[in-house]
Structure 1
């Protein structure tokens, strides 16, 4: 079973990818690995996403399936090689199916009620989504009061300018974002640009660690 929390805490960065097909998946995976980041989430928003995930998982990359909203999607994602599952919301059936299969799950939350259900289900790490609309770093601080043991992976509307404000919070394990490999860059086949953006983000994170 993947120790997802350790992987997230190590790199503190989770690329959120919308990619389709094995060739594109492999190219994006190589770009991330070249930058030194062995972790990514592939969203199941487009046809061919599972094929891309399968190709990426065949490389030295720990790949999760994102935008998973049903237990059936959990099954198909795991069959394709997903090492973890990410959901935009908190659905008990998805969490329980992941547990049945021994796969880590990162469910989404947006409210205190969501977090109460997470506690009830024994979930200790959640995706805060959409982070910018939910309240950003201030929301993380507010949630941490009544839920001091919870760890967060904010995702949604985050870019380089917001990294420091999130990662400076002890409750934040990592930040998820699509700016590392946006759709236009992927469509243009600019793999070197994905590597550049990822290296730049990792360097920014390293600089924050030594401050």
Structure 2
């Protein structure tokens, strides 16, 4: 079902839409709209634009205004001010590298779905204390990868994860086979070389391949 800009979104909606959420770093806001169009053409609509460059908010604004099929999210959100700025730029969800109760409450006040990063059992418990049960596992491969996700299935069987950090086309499928993984996040869908060359067809092809990845527990 298409998500439009007038329908309330949940974090679960975000992670279940497709097997991969692209983690996008843009140094040229002019790339934002054609990139979003290329990803949407390949079936990927949830787009995480990271707040790692000065162009990020302009890029979000452009996509929100000109590519209605896309659902813009903000990544690298570290506090309430980041979340507010992202919301004003058109973001409909936010992703953070870590978890703090303050950020969780700020996003709740803004009615912005939050996908917060966790890497330890204590952080998962703190997020659950704030009512959050869909979490980003970051940095996934550096922090323990599939082995840690499997270990968490016992004590945290009610939590869903989006592993991000070191996830690539060649290891994404193995993560998606796990019962507690809803999707993965990765930067390989928007490679710098394709962006610089304006090779939007290459990006659409990468998106199609990502969309075709299997999620046996969620299809």
TM class by smaller structure:
over 0.9
Match of 1:164 among 162, 173, 198: 173
Match of 1:119 among 128, 141, 155: 128
1:84 equivalent in structure 2? 93
Provide the TM-score with structure 1 as the length reference: 0.94
1:11 equivalent in structure 2? 18
In 1, Cα distance between the equivalents of 2:209 and 2:111? 34
The question of whether the paired residues in 2 share the 8 Å contact of 1:21 and 1:51 is answered with no
- CA displacement at 1:4 relative to structure 2: 3.0
1:30 equivalent in structure 2? 37
1:131 equivalent in structure 2? 140
Query: How many pairs align?
Result: 210
Provide the TM-score with structure 2 as the length reference: 0.90
Moved over 4 A (4+): none
The question of whether the paired residues in 2 share the 8 Å contact of 1:130 and 1:155 is answered with yes
In 2, Cα distance between the equivalents of 1:203 and 1:144? 25
1:2-45: CA deviations, max 9, x gaps? Answer: 13313421312101100144421101101011112111100000
Runs of 5+ in structure 1 lacking a partner? Answer: none
In 2, Cα distance between the equivalents of 1:10 and 1:26? 20
The question of whether the paired residues in 1 share the 8 Å contact of 2:177 and 2:214 is answered with no
More helix by share: 1
Are 1:193 and 2:202 an aligned pair? yes
Match of 1:93 among 102, 120, 131: 102
The alignment yields a C-alpha RMSD, in angstroms, of 1.8
